Structure 1
Amino acid sequence: MRILLWHVHGSWATAFVRGGHDYLVPVVPDRGPDGRGRALTYPWPPNAYEIPWDRLREEDVDVVVLQRPHEAELAERWLGRRPGRDLPAVYVEHNTPVGAVPHTRHHLADRTDVTLVHVTHFNDLFWDSGRAPTRVIEHGVPDPGYRYTGALPRAGVVVNEPVRRRRVAGTDLLPAFARAVPLDVFGMKVTGLPQRLGLPVGTFEDLPQEAMHTELARRRVYLHPYRWTSLGLALIEAMLLGLPVVALAGTEAVEAVPPGAGIVSTRVAALTAALEDLVSDPARAAQTGQAARAAALTRYGLARFLSDWDLLLHEVLAHRELSR
């Protein structure tokens, strides 16, 4: 199968392109948002091909995987075919709804020709998907392997653009946590965060995924302070690495972290106490991290994710053939 998709969310795409298909990834001269091409900091297999945007009309495409509202129009211009009408298409909704939640109506709610794929059951519950055919395919994450050492009595946080996404990512909560345990923040655009918080927080800017995983695994605990995100895949990656997790009980985190794998709460005081306890008790931290890894392997394994996607894509293609 030849699948067209844009490089939008690096972690999700890194899992998706591990399937047994050819993945056509548009690239534009400046590698801007509508044509980033292959990932530069994630390991992608050779069957994910960069295709210049102006050559897409020459390519055979079996199905389009859309991820942003404007991509349907973009695909129509670049391919000369309309997704959902002239070409099978699915739309992956990565995000929680915004605005008048829970009344937020999805932009595909009135269409029946494009399957709307939610990445969490929380999103499926909270989006008003209208008449659109829907499916939930939970995340799958390539296993980075057990790397936990917990050698540093510090908490690790992974968040991109923590200043712009202050309340969404829970960045405003970090000072309270940092007064209890030392914090290190990994991600994009984290430089300058310590000065903004007024606290001695360590930062690690734009590390390649492999290096970030190794560094993160040296921290004794992983902190996930997100208020309103679909499900930050860094949480699952941290669990797979073997870190115990302390997470704000928002959106899908309550499903992702079962009892014994970490602490999940809406109370900042309870989360702060959990950080202190785990940082001060290396043996308990390691035991909790092993439970977290086992839970993540069971629920978010790559094989299940790719199998679910293969099933859906073949259904979409078969439906297209029957409707001709």
Structure 2
Amino acid sequence: MRILIWHVREAWTTAFVHGRHDYLLPTSLDRGPDGQGRSRTCEWPAAAREVATEALADEDVDLVVLQRPHEVGLAEKWLGGRRPGRDLPAVYLEHNTPAGALPDTRHPMAGGSIPIVHVTGFNDLVWDCDGTPTIVIEHGIPDPGRRYTGDIERAGVVVNDPVRRGRSVGADLIPALAEDVGADVFGMRVDRLPAYHGLRTYEDLPQRDLHDHLPRRRVYVHLSRWTSLDLSLIEAMHLGMPVVALATTETPLAVPHEAGFVTTRRDEIVPAVRHLMKDPDVAEEAGLIGRRHARKRYGLDRFLDEWDDVLRAVVAGTAP
């Protein structure tokens, strides 16, 4: 199957393009948001092929995976008038939790005929899709292997753009964590954080380097209040890291109790991290439990098999 898909979320797309199809990635000269092409930091197979936007009209496309509302118009323009959902089979992938008022936020694709795939059951529950068929396919990732050593007695955090995103990703909780136990924050635009005491930042490391450096930290701390299930959390569990996380959105189902500590109390975050830091054996065992859970629930094969079922049904016109 030849699938047109935009490079929007790098970690998710990395998993998706490891499937059994040919993946056409719109590519523009400026490598802007609508034409990023292949990843430059993650390893993608040759089946993920860059196609210049002006050349897409000559491509045979079996299905379009949409991720942003304006991609419907882009696809129609670039594919020579073929409109997803009318002239071509299409599915809409929703990565995010609603940004508006809950529980009444209407999905931008609600009321249409294009099925909506949510990455968590929580997202499916809280979005108002107004009768549009919805499907849940939970995340899956290529297993990076168990790399946890925990030899650096600090907290590891992965977050992108924390200053702009603020409370939704728990940016306000970083200062106390850094001051009390020391925090190493990895991600895009983390160098814009103020110079809090005890904070170190690592700007936009390639995935392979992140997977080497992150699991040297004793504990992975997940501070997001209101985002979808971050793939960085799933990756940390695959790496064998013990987890301290906020019990919000899908996280309580993603992190078993024995894999660390999940709480809604801000005053319990630092004590939980301290507990795992002072007992490396407990931390290592929690990480092993989390890794087993993550491999079973968020394994790549399960993810790709479920997507294949949906893609075949959409092309055949039998999707719910």
TM-score normalised according to structure 2 size:
0.98
Q: Deviations over 1:20-67 (max 9, x none)?
A: 100000000100000000000111001000000000000000000000
**Residue identity matched to 1:107:** P
Which residue of structure 1 aligns with residue 313 of structure 2?
Answer: 315
Which residue of structure 2 aligns with residue 62 of structure 1?
Answer: 62
TM-score normalised according to structure 1 size:
0.97
Alignment partners' CA distance in 2, 1:206 and 1:302:
24
Report the Cα offset of residue 200 of structure 1.
3.0
**Residue identity matched to 1:306:** L
Structure 2 residue 90 is the aligned partner of structure 1 residue 89: yes
Report the Cα offset of residue 199 of structure 1.
2.1
Alignment partners' CA distance in 1, 2:194 and 2:43:
30
Correspondent of 1:232 among 230, 233, 244: 230
SS at match of 1:3: strand
CA contact (8 A) 1:194 1:200 kept: no
CA contact (8 A) 2:245 2:251 kept: yes
CA contact (8 A) 1:194 1:202 kept: no
Alignment partners' CA distance in 1, 2:73 and 2:277:
50
Alignment partners' CA distance in 1, 2:199 and 2:194:
5
Which residue of structure 2 aligns with residue 15 of structure 1?
Answer: 15
Alignment partners' CA distance in 1, 2:163 and 2:192:
9
Which residue of structure 2 aligns with residue 177 of structure 1?
Answer: 177
Structure 2 residue 104 is the aligned partner of structure 1 residue 103: yes
Which residue of structure 1 aligns with residue 208 of structure 2?
Answer: 210
Structure 1 stretches of 4+ moved >3 Å:
none
SS at match of 2:269: helix
**Residue identity matched to 2:78:** W
Correspondent of 1:269 among 259, 267, 270: 267
User: Could you tell which deviates more after superposition, 263-272 or 224-233?
Assistant: 263-272
Report the Cα offset of residue 123 of structure 1.
0.2
CA contact (8 A) 1:152 1:219 kept: yes
**Residue identity matched to 1:95:** N
Ranges in structure 1 where 5+ consecutive residues have no aligned partner: none
Ranges in structure 2 where 5+ consecutive residues have no aligned partner: none
Which residue of structure 1 aligns with residue 304 of structure 2?
Answer: 306
Alignment partners' CA distance in 2, 1:104 and 1:262:
33
Give matches, 1:219-258, under 5 Å: 219-258=217-256
Report the Cα offset of residue 180 of structure 1.
2.1
Report the Cα offset of residue 191 of structure 1.
1.1
Alignment partners' CA distance in 2, 1:192 and 1:307:
40
SS at match of 1:264: strand
Alignment partners' CA distance in 2, 1:284 and 1:17:
36
Alignment partners' CA distance in 1, 2:256 and 2:149:
22
**Residue identity matched to 1:87:** L
How many percent identity over aligned positions?
59
**Residue identity matched to 2:209:** A
Which residue of structure 1 aligns with residue 122 of structure 2?
Answer: 122
Alignment partners' CA distance in 2, 1:37 and 1:108:
25
Alignment partners' CA distance in 1, 2:93 and 2:49:
20
Root-mean-square deviation (Å):
1.1
Alignment partners' CA distance in 2, 1:146 and 1:89:
37
Report the Cα offset of residue 293 of structure 1.
0.3
CA contact (8 A) 2:156 2:214 kept: yes
**Residue identity matched to 1:205:** E
SS at match of 1:4: strand
Report the Cα offset of residue 194 of structure 1.
4.0
**Residue identity matched to 2:172:** D
